[in-house]
Amino acid sequence: MDKIICFLYTETTGLHKTNDQITKKNLYCYARMVTLNYEIGYIENNVFILSKKVKNIIKPRSMHISEDSIKFHNITQEYAIQNGKEIELVIEEFKNDNKNTTIIVSHNIDFHLKTLISEAFRYNIVLEFNNYLIIDTISFFHKYGFIKLKDLFDKLKIEKNNDEEYDNTELIKLVFFKLYSKFKKSIKKDKK
């Protein structure tokens, strides 16, 4: 069976104020999730076959989407209230969609996983990532250090299709496959 890959990206109300383990005591230190975006698929004949693409906006409940965070994701409180989905439904959908996933990839994945886990914790939903291979493009086979996703995309000289604008999930996918191809080439060189 092919390995199923999930490319994950969350948008939030800001940054986390702690890196500690998530507990009831420090739950308020974690940014709130505004969107949960992911693409799931597999590789066949060196081509990524997309099975599902999800962009869920979270309906705000006991949270405020600040003007500062709106500058990054362009989702206002009003828009999220009108167009968002209940957080429990979004997390359950994510869990169900990833039942057969083997690899989860993101850029600065620790941030995105903590966002997801803290939201699940708030609503008493069990969410574990122990059975997945976790890959973080921020440190996967490059020497650019702690670099922004768009900057890494540019440094890797990934070709764009015309003037197409990519969302962050798409950028993560393109960056991962570029880095992965470099990684595969380096392994072949080492074998010689």
What pLDDT was estimated at residue 165? Answer: 75
pLDDT band at 163 (very low <50, low <70, confident <90, very high): low
Q: What is the percent of the chain where pLDDT is above 70?
A: 96
Mean pLDDT to the nearest integer, 160-171: 81
pLDDT band at 134 (very low <50, low <70, confident <90, very high): very high
pLDDT band at 185 (very low <50, low <70, confident <90, very high): confident
pLDDT at 24 over 80: yes
Whole-prediction pTM: 0.92
**Domains of the chain with bracketed CATH:** 4-191 (3.30.420.10)
Mean pLDDT, the chain, as a whole number?
A: 93
Class of residue 95 by CB neighbours under 10 A (exposed 0-12, middle 13-18, buried 19+): middle
Mean pLDDT to the nearest integer, 153-175: 86
Mean pLDDT to the nearest integer, 177-185: 87
The residue with greater pLDDT, 1 or 46, is 46
